[in-house]
Amino acid sequence: MCRSFYDRRPWTVRDLSCGPLRIYLELELRRLACPKCGKVKRERLTWLADNPFYTKRFAFYVGRRCRDATIKAVAEELGLDWKTVKELDKQYMREQVRRVGRPGPLGIGGDEISIRKGHTYRIVVSDLLRRRPIWFGGQDRSEASMDGFYHWLGPKQCGQLRLAVMDMWKPFRNSAARHAPDAAILFDKFHIMRHLGEALDQVRKSEYARLTGPRRRFIKGQKYTLLSNHANLNLEGRRVLKELLRANRRLHVAYLLKESFGQLWSYQREGWARRFFENWKAALKWQRLKPYEEFARKIEKHWDGIASYCQPENKVPLGFVEGLNNKIRVLQRRAYGLRDEEYLRLKILTCMLPPL
């Protein structure tokens, strides 16, 4: 039997505030003398946070506040040290991850994010059906780092995967083919359209270099007008675009080809999609658009990963992965960068989870 006795000094714990008043609880804790190790240990109360000077519900309140505000702002609001706020927020997010359980995805989306300057990357993998990130890790964007996700997921869950969405990065493709051979590989529409946008920008630069004098004024400063979808432009943007396309025939053709290429993902059968791509590629003849010709060759090389979207079972929201990347960038900008990688991992894994 362990001998137990009470601390004579009261233990003060901070609880949820009542309006502008802070609430503190005073209690006596028992200390236990362990007969095996000979040490004296304090009893653990389930309603206390990992930091025993705060209740668990206060820690969860801090975590909910940190979902919408910075650590500094929450620390000033509650009169706490920012390191204390950070640790309480970590406990809140760990509990969120614990409650949601281990994932068993059928479709995944993988992409890399930059965590600091100097081409330092980590990989984020999402469950496309449940629409939440499930893994953050790796040391770079190499094949070995992507293998870490499949090892974490386990061979049984890898065998259940039916779809893997990614960009046209070869290490990701090789890793998926080796660990999840039954999963169809689908290349992300937004990464492909980004390559097409880069080709359009190269055409814009070549036209600006070719022209001289006042004819340049239609092209100068109109990079994002050309790259934007026509439906997203305001009235002023559409007016400027109309003048630009009227003044330069090559940019007019390049812009129309860029706008029409998005139709590729609307087809329900691969044969129809292939016919559309062949007609789109034939429209490049005699146009002298070398960046577009290189883009067409890249699509030809990776056609299988694009045609997979024509299958009904592969109709998943392709914009979720790109939207998640934007959300992660907002988290990083709001904190002016996160140096604690474990904290960043928890922030990413819980950004789509409901609050506790």
- What does each of the 356 residues of the chain score in pLDDT, given as a tens digit? 555 555 556 788 999 998 889 999 988 877 777 777 777 777 778 899 988 899 999 999 999 999 988 899 999 999 999 999 999 999 999 999 999 988 889 999 999 888 888 788 999 999 998 899 999 998 988 999 999 999 999 999 999 999 999 888 899 999 999 999 999 999 988 889 999 999 999 999 988 888 887 778 888 888 888 888 888 888 988 898 888 888 888 999 999 999 999 899 888 888 999 999 999 999 998 888 999 999 999 999 999 988 888 888 888 877 788 888 888 888 888 877 778 889 999 999 999 999 98
Please state, in angstroms and rounded to a whole number, the distance separating the CA atoms of residues 260 and 286: 18
Rg of the chain over Cα atoms, rounded to whole angstroms, equals: 28
What pLDDT score does 8 carry? 57
- 107-187+320-350 placed in CATH 3.30.420.10: yes
Residues in the chain: 356
Whole-angstrom Cα distance, residue 128 to residue 324?
11
In contact, 313 and 162? CB cutoff 8 Å: yes
Q: Where are the domains of the chain?
A: 3-100, 107-187+320-350, 189-312
Alpha carbon of 128 to those of 211, 227, 273, 304: distances in Å?
A: 47, 27, 24, 20
Q: Which residues pair with 11 in a beta bridge?
A: 27
Q: What span, in angstroms and rounded, lies between the C-alpha atoms of 321 and 133?
A: 9
pLDDT for res 7: 55
Look at strands 21-27 and 11-18 and give their pairing: antiparallel
Handedness of CA 76, 80, 83, 87 (dihedral sign): negative
One-letter-per-residue 3-state SS of the chain:
CCEEEECCCCEEEEEEEECCEEEEEEECCEEEECCCCCCEEECCCCCECCCCCEEHHHHHHHHHHHCCCCHHHHHHHHCCCHHHHHHHHHHHHHHHHHHHCCCCCCEEEEEEEEEECCCEEEEEEEECCCCEEEEEECCCCCHHHHHHHHHHHCHHHHHHCCEEEECCCHHHHHHHHHHCCCCEEEECHHHHHHHHHHHHHHHHHHHHHHCCHHHHHHCCCCHHHHHCCHHHCCHHHHHHHHHHHHHCHHHHHHHHHHHHHHHHHHCCCHHHHHHHHHHHHHCCCCCCCHHHHHHHHHHHHCHHHHHHHHCHHHCCCCHHHHHHHHHHHHHHHHCCCCCCHHHHHHHHHHCCCCCC
Q: Which two tokens stand for residue 290?
A: 């070398």
Could you tell me which residues are beta bridge partners of residue 27? 11
Decide: 161 and 179 in contact? Cβ < 8 Å.
no
Q: What is the pTM of this model?
A: 0.84
Residues near 180 by beta carbon (within 8 Å), at least 6 away in sequence = 150, 158, 159, 161, 164
* Per-residue pLDDT, 124: 93
* Region of 122 on the Ramachandran plot (φ > 0 left; ψ -120 to 50 alpha; else beta): beta
Q: Residue 31 has what pLDDT?
A: 76
What is the per-residue pLDDT for 275?
94
Amino acid 38: pLDDT: 74
User: Is residue 243 within 8 Å of 218, Cβ to Cβ?
Assistant: yes
